[in-house]
Amino acid sequence: MNFPFNAYLLAFLGAGLVTSASLPLWRAWCERHGLVDDPGHRKIHHQPVPLAGGLAVFTGMAVVVLGGLAVVKLQLLNPEAVEKLSYGLGRRAPELAAILLGALAMLILGWWDDRQELKPAAKFLGQILIALAVAGAGVRVTLFVPSVVFSYVVTVLWIVSVTNALNFNDNMNGLCGGLGVVAAGWVAWHAGREGQYLVASLAWLILGALMGFLPFNFPRASVFLGDAGSHLIGFLLAVLAILPHFYSPKQEDPSRWAVLSPLLILAVPLADLASVVWIRTRLRRPFWLGDTNHFSHRLVRAGCSRLQAVLILWAAAVLAGAVTLVF
């Protein structure tokens, strides 16, 4: 018997509903405590906008994870589904705990940056320490090099790069959240297809939480993600891309090209990150200082509306992810 789809559906709908329900509460909390994005240079909004998105997304995930653990413990699902999830939870419990704690740490780091605007060095150091902790728990890139040091270095570089790529792409309504939806959707597809039920459930959970947030941010925004939200999404997508076994010698007719799947699934934000870093470096500007040279800004300068620019980049992300089907 295949893994029942209703378990994925529960993760998706539960996270979406909790995120949507909690978002107005977090929005009011942010307004009351001054956690808002004020109008200013390079910004198109004219009123302060609450930075409640990341808090709501994390709430949606955390509540459903706790509920899911209770469901498994009480055996409220199909017995086979409970058996498979229990096996996965037992086998990967340290990794999952590290992911959830890492997500919380990234959320707090981003929230701190939203509150006080941390210095770039402090923010990068925080990202590196969180990535190292997650790698130490076993969530690591292995590839084909039998070296623990190599694995740690590549994992930290990957998590920090993806986190900042999504942070950089939080520059237009719906862009960061939508790219997260696309990436989580592709990981959910591949993990489910390969029978990696726990990874697929986590991907559906993240997908649902982001879908619960997106209507509040696109096409018009009553809330923003803030650095807390973009750090959270970037971190989650980074580790989500590490967890599935895109390539394994045990697979029927395996292809080593499949290890490129995470790069393709996250091709749009990673290409944008590389592009703006190159431009800023060439212009002898600090690469961490924001500007209007992102793909989205260049599309607007080329004649697209902001809505069209976001939709084009969403579509590009879908197409890049579709290439992984070849593998």
Which DSSP string corresponds to 217-278?
TSSS-SS--HHHHHHHHHHHHHHHHHSS-S--TTSSS--GGGGGHHHHHTHHHHHHHHHHHH
- Apex CA 244: angle with CA 238 and CA 249, to 5°? 135
* pLDDT band (50, 70, 90) for residue 1: very low
Contacts by 45-50, CB closer than 8 A, 24 or more apart:
45/221, 49/221, 49/222, 49/223, 49/224, 50/26, 50/222, 50/223, 50/224
Looking at the predicted structure, is the pLDDT value of residue 112 above 50?
yes
* pLDDT band (50, 70, 90) for residue 255: low
What pTM was estimated for this model as a whole? 0.90
pLDDT the model gives residue 300: 96
Are 120 and 288 in contact by the 8 Å Cβ rule? The answer is: yes
Q: Tokens 């004219």 sit at which residue?
A: 46
For the chain, the domains span 5-248+256-326
| Residue 135: φ, ψ to 5° | -65, -40
- What is the mean pLDDT of the segment spanning 277-287? 92
* pLDDT band (50, 70, 90) for residue 198: confident
Residue 206 makes CB contacts below 8 A (sequence gap 6+) with 15, 61, 180, 184, 236, 237, 240
Q: Report which secondary-structure segment, H or E, holds 50.
A: strand 49-50
pLDDT the model gives residue 88: 63
Looking at the predicted structure, is the pLDDT value of residue 40 above 50?
yes
| Residue 49: φ, ψ to 5° | -120, 125
Most confident of 58-72, 111-125, 144-158: 111-125
